[in-house]
Amino acid sequence: MISLRWAHHILGVGLALALWELVGRYMGEALFAPPSAVFRELWPMLTGGTMLAELVSSLRQMLVGFLFACAVGMPLGIIMGRSQIADILIHPWVSMFIVTSVASLVPLLILLFGTGFWFRATVVFLAAVWYITLTSYQGARGVDPRLIDVGRVFGANPVTRFWKILLPALFPFLLAGARIGLVHAIRSMVVAEMFVIVGFGGLLHSAGLAISSAPLLALLMVLMIVGVAANSLLKLAARYIAPWYEARIGEAMGR
């Protein structure tokens, strides 16, 4: 079953590349370079070292903002989900910020933080934290009250009920929120860097000014691979830490 699934994935990728090659050759490199031209540009980027160095630097700043988003968003979502007062006070603000484009806040953030490390980390934080908060919130609201009642009947104090009952029930939602937040963190990392033309986003900005679209598409391909790999690593971590993760998420989605 696994081999058949991978065969389908490989077939789908192969068909997409073949179609891309045909369309790219018809449109030309200036508008939409074919994969043959893109891979020709990609190899020097990988071996030159500059692109990988910029990517590592960008991911380091992204990781800082993302970890801060998890550290704030997860507890905030749990508090909102378990406290009606907190929900009433905080939820409107979360709803407003989640629909506000982070790009629209960039000029203000530049005034506050400059264009260095903390500006980019803050952009990532603001892009990811609200999605993590709302996912954690939905998980906290969906915890079966009977589980908490059982712990209370057996004399578990609030701290024990949180660590032994509430947190394991929330774990799949926390990881789902982290995966969603990670996608937005990677996107916002590029947005922040393109504004100030530094890092990997700066490379994308410069590649967009080239005569051929091949360098730009090569960088975008690298970014997509990084995003898929990061999401897959989180998924593997979830399977390792909590084998019931996917089954629990499937039940939640089915409700």
Q: Are 87 and 81 in contact (CB under 8 A)?
A: yes
What percent of the chain stands above pLDDT 90?
Answer: 26
Evaluate if pTM is beyond 0.75: yes
Confidence at residue 2, expressed as pLDDT on a 0 to 100 scale: 54
Scanning the structure block, which residue is given the tokens 């730009």? 216
* Count of other CB atoms within 10 angstroms of residue 223: 19
* Ranges of residues in the chain whose predicted pLDDT is under 50: 1, 252-255
Distance of CA 70 to the CA centre of its chain: 11
The CATH class of the 33-254 domain is: mainly alpha
Confidence at residue 242, expressed as pLDDT on a 0 to 100 scale: 66
Confidence at residue 255, expressed as pLDDT on a 0 to 100 scale: 47
CA–CA–CA angle 20, 22, 23 (5° rounding): 65
What separation in angstroms does the CA of 80 have from each of 88, 129, 205, 221? 8, 14, 40, 38
Helix axes 214-241 and 167-196, enclosed angle (nearest 10): 160
In this predicted model, what pLDDT tens digit does every residue of 177-211 receive, in sequence order? 898 999 999 989 998 888 888 888 888 888 888 88
Confidence at residue 253, expressed as pLDDT on a 0 to 100 scale: 45
